[in-house]
Amino acid sequence: MENTNSPLGIILLLAAIWVVIVPLGLWLLMGFLRRTVSVKAAVALVESNPEAMALLGAPLTVGRFIWGRINVSLISVLSLIARHRAGSGSASLSIPLQGSRGQARLKARLEKVDGEWRPYYGRLMIGSKEMMLVDERAQGGWFKRIFG
């Protein structure tokens, strides 16, 4: 009986798995990130700004390639599992946006306080224009101390 498992066949199989599985995993992960509460809160910061919406146009859609980091406490993770609104965390995200009049990239900083993601500020880049967006709740707090 001959051995049909040649090294070339194994290498080709591994390469095929790499070419299919890794991109599929990234595509699914990016799709999941688009639907997270933190991304939705950051996009709401743009949607609540009339000047930004005038430049981008409605409706806004979130692009697939979101970059950044999200940190949550263990309490947050356990609260999510138990479906309670508690815990704390932070996020720095770079989110591509598409509106009916143009596209932009939102770089947002969010904090999770008492189980709620709050976008404290965001930098919206539309072509060569840059706009600073600030959540009203942050204006009297640490944002004013740092940027005021």
Tens-digit pLDDT profile for residues 9-30: 888 888 888 888 877 777 776 6
Report whether pLDDT(95) > 90.
Answer: yes
Report whether pLDDT(32) > 80.
Answer: no
What pLDDT does 33 receive?
66
What pLDDT does 101 receive?
94
Q: What is the pLDDT of residues 112-128, one digit of tens each?
A: 877 788 888 889 998 88
Q: What's the average model confidence in pLDDT over 83-92?
A: 72
| Cβ neighbours around 84 below 10 Å, total | 12
Q: Measured between alpha carbons, how far is residue 51 from residues 56, 122, 124, 137, 148 in Å?
A: 9, 14, 11, 19, 21
Say what percent of the chain tops pLDDT 70: 72
Q: How far apart are CA 140 and CA 148, in angstroms?
A: 9
Q: How far apart are CA 143 and CA 108, in angstroms?
A: 13
Q: How far apart are CA 85 and CA 110, in angstroms?
A: 16
User: Which of the residue ranges 11-15, 36-40, 51-55, 70-74 would you say has the lowest mean pLDDT?
Assistant: 70-74
Q: What is the CA radius of gyration of the chain?
A: 21
